[in-house]
Amino acid sequence: MMRRILIIISLLLIINVTKTTAQDKKWTLEDCVSYAVSNNIGLQRQRLQTEIEQVNLLKSKMDILPSLNFGTDASIQYGRSIDPISNGVTFLQNFRNGYQLTSNIRLFNGFTALNTISANKFMLKAGLETEKIARNTLVVDIMGQYYMVLYTRGLERASKMQLDLSEKQLFRIVKMVETGREPLSKQYEMESRVSADKLAFTVAQNTASQAITTLKQMLQLAPGTAFDIFMPDLNTLLLRDTSYSTDSVYNLASQVLPRLKEIEFELRASKNQIAAARGSLAPSLSLGGQLFTGYYTLLNDTSTHSTYSQQMKNNFGQAVGLSLNIPIFNNYSTARSIKLAKIRKNDAELRLQQEKNNLYTDIENACLNFNRGKDEYAAAVANFEFNKKSFSAMEKKFESGLIDVTDYSASKTTLFTAETEALRTKLQYLIRSLTIQFYSTGEYETILKQ
C-alpha cells in the first residue's frame, strides 16, 4: 500500500514539473515566428488555395488523355417496336439489354489544351508566391509586435527604476524629517513624486501587458495558454553600422521578393489564356471508338431465341470514327473569352508596374528611415549618457539640500525621457535594419538567428 502511494505521489510530481516547465517557457522571436507560420489559420487557408491551383493543373493535364466510359441499359417495350433480330415491326412486349464501352480523344483543338496547361502551371506558381507573401506579411507583423513588447518591457523596467529612486529618496527624507533636519513639506513633495511614479509604473505595466496580449492573439494561441517572451539583453543587440542604397536594395528585392514574382507569373498565365481562348476559333478534330453488344427477347412469344450468352457473343460490334467541328458562330462566347483574357493581361501588366513602383517607394523610405535612424540612435545614446551624468550631479545636490524636490524631479524626468528615447531609437534602428535585410534576401530564417 505504501509503495502504491509513493508511485502516485511520484507521478503527480512529474506531471506538475512538466506542467510548470511548459508554462515557464519563454518564447524567442524565432519561436513566435515558427509557431505562427505553422499554425496561423490565414496561412492554412492560403495553402488550400494553392492546392486548388494544383487540382486545376492536374485537371488540365488529364483533359488531353482519352476518355473511357462504360454503360449498360435494360428496358421492356410495349406497342410498336423494331425486332433487332428480324429487323421487322412487332407489337409484342419485348425485353432489351445492352452494353457499350466508348472512348474519345481530341486530336486537335487549336492547342487550347496545351495552352491551358501552361496557364495553370503559371497560376500554380503565382499561388505559391501568394502563399509566400501571406507568410512574409505575417512574419513582419510578428517581428514588429515582438519588438513592441521589448520596448514596453523596457519602459516598464525604466519606470520601476524611477520609482525605486523616488522611494529611496523618500525614505531618506522621512528619516531627516524625523530628526528635524528637513521640513515636513519636503516630505509631502517627495510623497507626491513617489505617487506620480507609481502611477507611471502602473501605466507602463498595463501597456506591456497589452503588448504581450496582442502578440499572443497574433499567434492565435488557445485560450488559457500561458505565454511570455524571452527578454534578451538589449545591451548586447548588435546593430550594423552601415548605409544602404535604394537602387542596390531594389535590384536585389526585385529578384527575390514574391510580391513581384506573383504578378509576373499571373501575367505569363494571362498570355497563355489568350492563346487558349483563340484556340476555340480553330476547327477541332476528335477520334472516337465504341464496343457494344446486347440481348433481345419477346416476353409473350413461345418461339425460341438464342441464349443470353450466345446473343451477347453474336451481337458484339465495334465502331470507330472521326469527328470534325468547325466553329462558325457561337453567340460571341469565344470572342468574349478572348476579350476578357486580354483585359486580364493588361491589368496584370499595370499591376506589375504599380507594384514595382510601390516596392521602390517602400525600399526608398526604408533606406532613408534606416540612415536617419542611425543618426537618431547615436544622438539618443549620447543624450542619455549626458543625462546620466547630469542626474548623478543633481542627486548629490538634492541629498545635500542645494536643490528642491521640483528640480530633482525635473532632472529625473529628463533622465527617464532620455533613457526611453535611447531604447526606442535602438529598437527602431534594429527593426529597420532587419526590414532592409528582409528586402534584400526575401528570407526570414537567417535574419531571426542573428
pLDDT 10s digits, 15-71:
443 443 445 678 988 899 999 999 999 999 999 999 999 999 999 999 999 999 999
Mean pLDDT computed over 271-300: 91
Is 9 a domain residue? Answer: no
98 domain-assigned:
yes
**14 lies in some domain:** no
Q: 218: which residues sit within 8 A by CB, 6+ positions away?
A: 36, 141, 142, 145
**d(Cα 84, Cα 315) in Å, to the nearest integer?**
10
Per-residue pLDDT averaged across 278-296, rounded? 92
Q: Which residue has the cell 507569373?
A: 265
The predicted model scores a pTM of: 0.81
- Does residue 163 sit within a domain? yes
Which grid coordinates belong to 379? 544622438
C-alpha–C-alpha distance, residues 234 and 426, integer Å: 9
Tens-place pLDDT, residues 182-212: 888 888 988 999 999 999 999 999 999 999 9
Q: What is the pLDDT of residue 152?
A: 94
Each residue's pLDDT tens digit, 108-126: 988 999 999 999 999 999 9
Same-domain status, 434 and 304: no
Whether the CB-CB separation of 74 and 166 falls below 8 Å is answered with no
Whether residue 91 is found in the same domain as residue 149: no
Q: What are 214-257's pLDDT values in tens digits?
A: 999 999 998 888 899 988 777 666 666 677 889 999 999 999 89
* Collapsed DSSP state (helix, strand, coil) of residue 355: helix
Per-residue pLDDT reduced to its tens digit, 357-379: 999 999 999 999 998 888 899 89
Which cell goes with 207? Answer: 501597456
Joined together, the cell numbers standing for residue 97 give: 439489354
In a domain, 11, yes or no: no
Cα–Cα dist 223/57, whole Å: 40
Can you give the pLDDT at residue 238?
A: 61
Of 326, 354, 379, the domain-final residue: 326
Between 95 and 444, residue with greater pLDDT: 95
State how far the Cα of 336 lies from the Cα of 344, in Å rounded to an integer: 12
Element (H, E) at 89: strand 89-90
Q: 97 and 148 share a domain?
A: no
pLDDT in tens, 291-344: 999 988 888 766 666 788 888 888 899 999 999 999 988 888 889 999 999 999
**Total of domains in the chain:** 2
CB hemisphere CA count around 41 (13 angstroms)? 5
On whether both 162 and 301 belong to a single domain, the answer is: no
Q: How many residues does the chain have?
A: 450
Residues 240 and 147: their CA atoms lie apart, in Å, by 17
pLDDT of residue 441: 82
What is the CATH number for 234? 1.20.1600.10
Strands in 94-108's sheet, in edge-to-edge order, are: 67-77, 94-108, 284-298, 317-325
With beta carbons less than 8 A apart as the criterion, state whether 239 and 430 touch: yes
pLDDT at 223: 84
Any domain includes 207: yes
d(CA 176, CA 399): 11
Tell me the pLDDT tens digit for each residue of 390-442: 989 988 888 888 888 888 888 888 999 999 999 999 999 888 888 888 888 87
Contact (Cβ atoms closer than 8 angstroms) between residue 429 and residue 372 = no
Asked if residue 6 belongs to a domain, the reply is no
- Closest Cα to residue 237, out of 372, 146, 136? 146
Q: What is the DSSP letter of 51?
A: H
Same domain, 97 and 242: no
Same domain, 379 and 267: yes
Cα 341 from chain centroid (whole Å): 29
Q: Which residues pair with 285 in a beta bridge?
A: 108, 324
In sequence order, which residues have a C-beta less than 8 Å from that of residue 201 and are 6 or more positions away? 156, 159, 160, 162, 163
Q: Are 84 and 244 in contact (CB under 8 A)?
A: no
> 270 and 373 in one domain?
yes
- pLDDT classification of 77: cutoffs 50, 70, 90: confident
- 54 with 127, same domain: the answer is yes
Instruction: For residues 235 and 262, state if they share a domain.
Output: yes
- Show the domain range for 263: 26-65+109-282+327-448
Q: Give me 356's grid cell.
A: 514595382
376 CB contacts (<8 Å, ≥6 apart)? 425, 428, 429
Contact, 396 vs 341, CB < 8 A? no
Whole-number Å distance between alpha carbons of 35 and 51: 22
Q: Identify the H or E element spanning 116.
A: helix 112-178
Q: Which pLDDT belongs to residue 448? A: 65
- Amino acid 21: pLDDT: 43
| Position 124 in a domain | yes
Q: What is the pLDDT of residue 236?
A: 65
For the chain, the first-to-last Cα distance in angstroms comes to 56
How far apart (Å, rounded) are the C-alpha atoms in residues 178 and 160? 27
54 and 174 share a domain?
Answer: yes
318 and 439 in a common domain: no
Question: Do residues 179 and 31 both lie within one domain?
Answer: yes
The pLDDT of residue 178 is 86
Bridge partners for 101 per DSSP: 70, 291
Q: What is the pLDDT of residue 449?
A: 60
